[in-house]
Structure 1
Amino acid sequence: MNQQGNPWWKEPWPWLLMSGPLVAMVACGVTIWLASSHPDLPVQGATRHGLVVEKVGTAPSKAAAARQP
């Protein structure tokens, strides 16, 4: 029994297995492009302290006050 197989590029399984990481890489590139081409627009009446965005003129919340040393 001497059975000749097809080359790997003619089989569907390698392409199916490679398509997942390829789609993830394209999606990552699109995300990076969107993040760099749409910078944060300033919101009126809000201030940013690190990752926290608070409205100007309002008292800090109890949770935020408890976190501060």
Structure 2
Amino acid sequence: MTEQQTTKPWFKQIWPWLLMSGPAVAMVGCIITIYLAINYHADKPLRDGVLKQGLKVEQLKASDTQANK
């Protein structure tokens, strides 16, 4: 009945690594998403005489373009 139990340090057990793997994978996915959003999906500039309000794009009249300058 005098069995000695040897305890391993925390980094040699599986549970801490299993619990840390979820947030680590989420962080890597977030970094990849931000990288793709910045480098591959940039908005293209609009031409002169075009006004963008939200998702709506309108062609301005000639008198409106002179008033905006």
TM-score for both structures, normalised by structure 2: 0.59
Which segments of 5 or more consecutive residues in structure 2 lack a partner in the other structure? 60-69
- Separation in 2, partners of 1:42, 1:16: 46
Which is higher, the Rg of structure 1 or of structure 2? 2
**What stretches of structure 1 move > 4 A for 4+ residues in a row?**
none
TM-score for both structures, normalised by structure 1: 0.59
Report the RMSD for the aligned CA atoms in angstroms: 2.4
One-letter amino acid of the structure 2 residue matched with residue 48 of structure 1: K
Which segments of 5 or more consecutive residues in structure 1 lack a partner in the other structure? 58-69
- Tell me: higher relative CO, structure 1 or 2? Use CA pairs within 8 A at least 6 residues apart: 2
- Separation in 2, partners of 1:47, 1:23: 41
